[in-house]
Amino acid sequence: MPLDDGTVAELLNQARLGDERSVQRLFTEHRERLKQMIRLRLDRRLAARVDPSDVVQETLAEAVRRLPKYLAEQPIPFYPWLRQIAWERLTKLRERHITAKRRAVGREERQAWALPDESVLELADRFVASGTNPSERLVREELKRRVHAALASLSETDRELLVLRYLEQLSPREARAVLGIGEEAFAKRHLRAIQRLRRVLQGEK
């Protein structure tokens, strides 16, 4: 279970005073959340070459380097800040292993928002019941198609909102920090995105 905001605030205060144990606890307690985010977002074409644990280690090493500046300013909550560094690592990996090669042969790159199929199915499972009959595979293929269609029909912000809340399981406060939007806008977008996704999953226009 993620640390509550009060505990994180206290650990950050102790870290600012030079308590190394608080720094270590902050990183240790958020390690699994980072790994889950990386597994979720990692392009399947990189899965055989990139170990999420290695990306976590690189992320935390960079976070240690940037920590003094973060502690002095604290522009966003702690986990969204860590996640931002992990996202930068994933972006660099994608550019190094996929985007550059595809550009070299003149092919179009997949949409930056596209999720691995497993993550798409997990998102679908949050909103509809999974089938268990012999045709389950066909049902799940149809679910993937519908979720892709639903995500494509949403704005980039609304898409990210759903992924952050229901797959990465960020709190509303953390998700707002990642998206850079206020509480009222978040609530409106959240409701609209859920309604749109459910309509598409149910076969409505």
Which pLDDT score, from 0 to 100, does residue 104 have?
A: 42
- What's the pLDDT tens digit per position in 172-185? 999 999 999 999 99
Instruction: Report the distance separating Cα 65 and Cα 153, nearest Å.
Output: 39
The residue with tokens 């949409």 is 111
Helices 172-179 & 183-201, crossing angle to 10 degrees? Answer: 100
Task: Tell me the torsion sign for CA atoms 149, 177, 184, 123.
Answer: positive
- What's the pLDDT tens digit per position in 153-205? 788 888 889 889 988 999 999 999 999 999 999 999 999 988 888 787 776 65
Instruction: Report the distance separating Cα 196 and Cα 154, nearest Å.
Output: 8
Contacts of 44 (CB under 8 A, 6+ apart): 116, 117, 118
Rounded to a whole number of angstroms, the CA Rg of the chain reads: 19
